[in-house]
Amino acid sequence: MPPRTALTVWPLEGIPEVLAGTDLVSVIADAAGGDLQDGDILVVTSKIVSKAEGRFVVADDREDAITSETVRVVASRTTPSGFTTRIVENRLGMVSAAAGVDASNTPEGTVLLLPVDPDASARAIAGGLRERLGVQVGVIVSDTLGRAWREGQTDHAIGAGGVDVFEDLRGGTDAEGRPLVVTMPCVGDELAAAADLVKGKAARLPVAVVRGRADLVGPLDLPGARSIVRPLERDMFRLGADEAYAEGFAAGLASAAEGGVGAAD
């Protein structure tokens, strides 16, 4: 385990409005000036990555865009007022509300989709900054997501380039000498959440720098944030409670109809 030092986090100011085709490497490098050093990790809000990549789609109805990005519905709830929230798996394998489709701060009649490949986007930005500035930096692309069992939202890593997203402590020991069997902090998500504390949600500060975890920065081909997504076969909570009940009820009816367990005598 590397020695612990102070963690410093600050936002980059002066980043202009990002449009389709904006060179993010250039605008981030200009905003950073000469302040970056080896081992710094930049956390970039996914919205500006999507904008730069032109991920706008015409959608008078945001729900249609959510449906087009949905691979699997996990849970759906409709309030008495008629508003429906859908928790779904999107094309990136992420489980989130609304498939990551964003209708805020976009031109009228459009919505913004997540980057096609956030890991590739993060690697491209990290590689570009390393080449332009001559410093070994890593990049996290972040997005705001809810958490199972807990209210509110935090920022998570959805893309990573040149950064270890896990700190694997398995095989080591704790402070009392007991073996660590399953301890594997998701430092990618922790970095994203730490950066969000200084970026904010409405301050137009889409990029932050985290300094103090140079031990996590490495080659551009390190596993990306896609490795954080838990495979379906290991997901113990792949459905919402109502959906799981309905699936089990339907299976029970089918079994009874076929004369299986639970069929009437």
2 part of a folded domain: no
| Sheet strand arrangement including 84-90 | 70-78, 84-90, 95-97
73 part of a folded domain: yes
87 part of a folded domain: yes
1 part of a folded domain: no
What is the model's pLDDT at position 82?
83
141 part of a folded domain: yes
Mean pLDDT, range 29-53, rounded to an integer = 96
- Give the CATH number for residue 84: 3.30.1330.100
Where residue 133 falls among pLDDT bands split at 50, 70, 90? very high
248 part of a folded domain: yes
Torsion of CA 188, 190, 195, 200, to 10 degrees: 120
Encode pLDDT of 102-128 as tens digits: 888 787 888 999 999 999 999 999 999
User: Which residue in the block uniquely carries the two structure tokens 């612990």?
Assistant: 4
What is the model's pLDDT at position 19?
93
Evaluate if residue 262 carries a pLDDT over 80. Answer: no
Q: Whole-model pTM?
A: 0.88
- Domain carrying residue 183: 8-257
What is the model's pLDDT at position 232?
86
68 part of a folded domain: yes
Total domains in the chain come to 1
Contact between residue 215 and residue 187 where contact means Cβ atoms under 8 Å apart: no
Contact between residue 205 and residue 13 where contact means Cβ atoms under 8 Å apart: yes
Residue among 133, 61, 151, 143 at smallest CA distance from 103: 61
